[in-house]
A = this chain, B = another copy of it.
Amino acid sequence: MPNPTAAMLVIGDEILSGRTRDANMHHLAGRLTEMGIDLKEVRVVSDDRDAIVAAVRALSATFSNVFTSGGIGPTHDDITADCVAEAMGASIDVRDDARAVLEGHYARQGTEMNAARLRMARIPDGATLIDNPISAAPGFSLGNVHVMAGVPSIFQAMLESLLPGLTGGRPLLSETLRVERPEGEIAGPLGVLAERHGAVSFGSYPFIQDGRFGANIVARSADAQALGAAMEALKATFGEEDG
């Protein structure tokens, strides 16, 4: 059976303007690979209602899981929850279970609840809350869309709350051979190997280091034996420069 698939939707003007460098994509990609969920696409869109709704609709119709980051705080530019509800045809309002989580948190902290904070209890009907052990305001899963915060430490904590409940697959195994030769010399023999080892996918990722050209050849497969054979063949072809 093929692995479940996933897409990520990053919501945030600050990334598209170049002010902030996204950190959540790389983290999510690594965790999903470990679980055997194949991340197939990432989109970054601005804090724009139409753009968010269209992206949620397109991605949730195409992939097994959609993970969103950003736009679920208390300020006027936090519109993700409402957009996801609209995209999925759900109604949304302050929900008692989410309000109770926030009230308990603020009571323990001696912080006042106010109208802005109450916005973070707006959760679509039918959604399941995602625990936020850091700042309490929950994320949620609605259908196959998992809505999480953009602050990296909170995104990561929410993800760890969420992942055990998702269906994984066969983790994709990978091994890398670093070859200090230009890709133009690697390409011919690598193409032959790729034809021969059909159960393994080979990627060539070029680099320039100290003015010299090289490439990391990455072999990937869910089949450990096929991967081992491919790595032997790679080393026999290109030499054992690195593990």
Q: Are A135 and B202 in contact (CB under 8 A)?
A: no
Task: Please judge, given known A-B contacts A13-B203, A16-B39, A25-B22, whether A74 and B187 are in contact too, CB under 8 Å.
Answer: yes
Q: Nearest CB to that of A113 among chain B residues?
A: B184
- CB contacts (< 8 Å) of A25 on chain B: these are 15, 22, 44
Residues 31-55 of A at the B interface (beta carbon under 8 Å): 31-33, 39-47, 51
CB contacts (< 8 Å) of A182 on chain B: these are 111
A51 touches which one: B13, B41, B111, B191 (CB < 8 A)? B41
Chain A 186-198 per-residue mask, 1 if CB under 8 angstroms from chain B, else 0: 1110110010000
| Residue A225, interface by CB 8 Å | no
Contact of A190 among B15, B22, B75, B111 (CB under 8 A): B75
Q: Which secondary structure characterizes the binding site on chain A?
A: mixed
Q: Is A220 an interface residue (CB 8 A)?
A: yes
On chain A, which size bracket covers the interface? 35 or more
**Within the oligomer, what is the number of copies of this chain?**
2
Interface string of A17-32 (1 = CB under 8 A from B): 1111110011111111
Given contacts A25-B44, A29-B17, A151-B207, is CB(A194)–CB(B76) below 8 Å? Answer: yes
| B46 and A44 form a contact (CB under 8 A) | no
The smallest beta-carbon distance between A52 and chain B, in angstroms, is 11
**Whole-angstrom CA separation of A39 from B10 in the bound complex:** 14
Instruction: Give the CA-CA distance A21 to B78 in the complex, in Å.
Output: 26
Which residues in A have some Cβ–Cβ distance to B below 8 Å?
A: 12-22, 25-33, 39-47, 51, 73-78, 111, 114-117, 119-120, 134-135, 150-151, 153-154, 172, 174, 176, 182-188, 190-191, 194, 201-208, 213, 215, 218, 220
Q: A15-B42, A151-B206 are in contact. List 4 more A-B contacts (CB 8 A).
A: A15-B26, A74-B183, A135-B213, A150-B206
